[in-house]
Amino acid sequence: MWLLNLIRWKNLLLIILVQTLIKYALFPAFYVDTALNDWQFSILVIATLCLAAAGNIINDIYDVDTDTINKPNRVIVGKFISEKTAYNLFIGFNVIGVALGFYLSNAIGKSGFFALFVIISVLLYLYASYLKRTLLVGNMIISVLVGLSLIIVGLFDLIPVITFENQDNQRLVFKLVLTYAGMAILLNFIREIVKDIEDVDGDYKSGMHTLPILIGRARASKVALILSFIPTFILLYYVITYLYKNPLEVGYFTFLIIGPLIYISIELFSAKTKKEFRKISSVIKFVMLTGVLSLLLYVFTP
């Protein structure tokens, strides 16, 4: 069980879910041409999971001191496994992920795509070892990597088979993937700030330079509040402009995405305790899940 917790199995399940729904819900709904067969898509998912697992492991290795203060009950490295074993797991997952990426890139005739796996691997290491300690840079890097877990499906499945005849449809669907990825990046960025507020005590003692440490928890909370308005207004505009004729989609987005986003804004306005910020973080994660599940609407609506 410690291994599952070390690699953040719940987060990995979310990656599996979103990539699967993009491949088997979104793409068929628009009748796009795809490059990956089921086996190759499985390799893409496994490669992504391996790199994400490696990133979670190296993050835990570098966060032992911080987590001892912020989350003493969740410390795994040094408690259930040695740091050396954790490093070996980190290297093993990285090697598997990059190797699978190399194989897949060549299998679809896009050998240059292999560089993406190397870049992701390097960024995850740099994030854990250095970037997460710098003001907002680490927050943005990890959020972009979350978005990349969506974009990579479009890159490998749509781009290689674009032709003059299908380019309009392929690009339309790829833009949809980018839209979902952009929303994931924004929501995760807000959540990263909220988590920094929640973990401010341990981060301060570890010498980190997060937003709440530099400007205070109250001001950082207001920054997260202002940012939370952005996805809310975007989705309100989208529902009013494009979905108003479809009751199922209007109801889904209103009650399962927009409603929780408004709740998050209300809570951010008055939140002060660690428990309150932890609850806000959980609600943001719920919104990310319902946002992913909204891909199923393309299956049930014309």
Q: How does pLDDT run across 222-257, given as a tens digit for each residue? A: 999 999 999 999 999 999 998 888 899 999 999 999
Residue labelled with tokens 């807000």: 190
Q: How far is CA 38 from the centre of its chain?
A: 23
Supply the pTM of this predicted model: 0.94
d(CA 2, CA 9): 10
Instruction: Give me 123's structure tokens.
Output: 């960024």
Angle between helices 38-62 and 83-107 (to 10 degrees): 150
Cβ burial of 272 (10 Å; 0-12, 13-18, 19+) is exposed
Q: In 10 A of CB 258, how many CB atoms?
A: 21
Q: What pLDDT is attached to residue 302? A: 62
Instruction: Give me 48's structure tokens.
Output: 């992504």
Q: What pLDDT is attached to residue 65? A: 73
Show the beta-strand stretches assigned E in 222-279. Answer: none
Q: In 10 A of CB 203, how many CB atoms?
A: 23
Q: Which residues contact 273 (CB under 8 A, 6 or more apart)?
A: none
Buried/exposed 35-54: b ≥16 CB within 10 Å, e otherwise: bbeeebbebbbebbbbbbbb
Query: pLDDT, tens digit, for every residue of 119-136?
Result: 999 999 999 888 888 888
Q: Which residues pair with 77 in a beta bridge?
A: 81
Show the beta-strand stretches assigned E in 215-286. Answer: none
Q: Which residues contact 190 (CB under 8 A, 6 or more apart)?
A: 224, 227, 228, 264, 284
Taking only the tens of pLDDT, the chain with its 302 residues reads 778 888 889 999 999 999 999 999 999 999 999 999 999 999 999 999 999 999 999 988 887 777 777 777 777 887 878 889 999 999 999 999 999 999 999 999 999 999 999 999 999 999 988 888 888 898 999 999 999 999 999 999 999 999 989 999 999 999 999 999 999 999 999 999 999 999 887 777 777 888 999 999 999 999 999 999 999 999 999 999 988 888 999 999 999 999 999 999 999 999 999 899 999 999 999 999 999 999 999 887 76
Q: Give me Rg for the CA atoms of the chain.
A: 20
Which amino acid, 213? I
Q: Are the C-beta atoms of residues 203 and 139 closer than 8 Å to each other?
A: no
Can you give the length of the chain in residues?
302
Cβ burial of 168 (10 Å; 0-12, 13-18, 19+) is exposed
Q: What pLDDT is attached to residue 5? A: 85
Q: In 10 A of CB 32, how many CB atoms?
A: 20
Q: Are the C-beta atoms of residues 131 and 210 closer than 8 Å to each other?
A: no
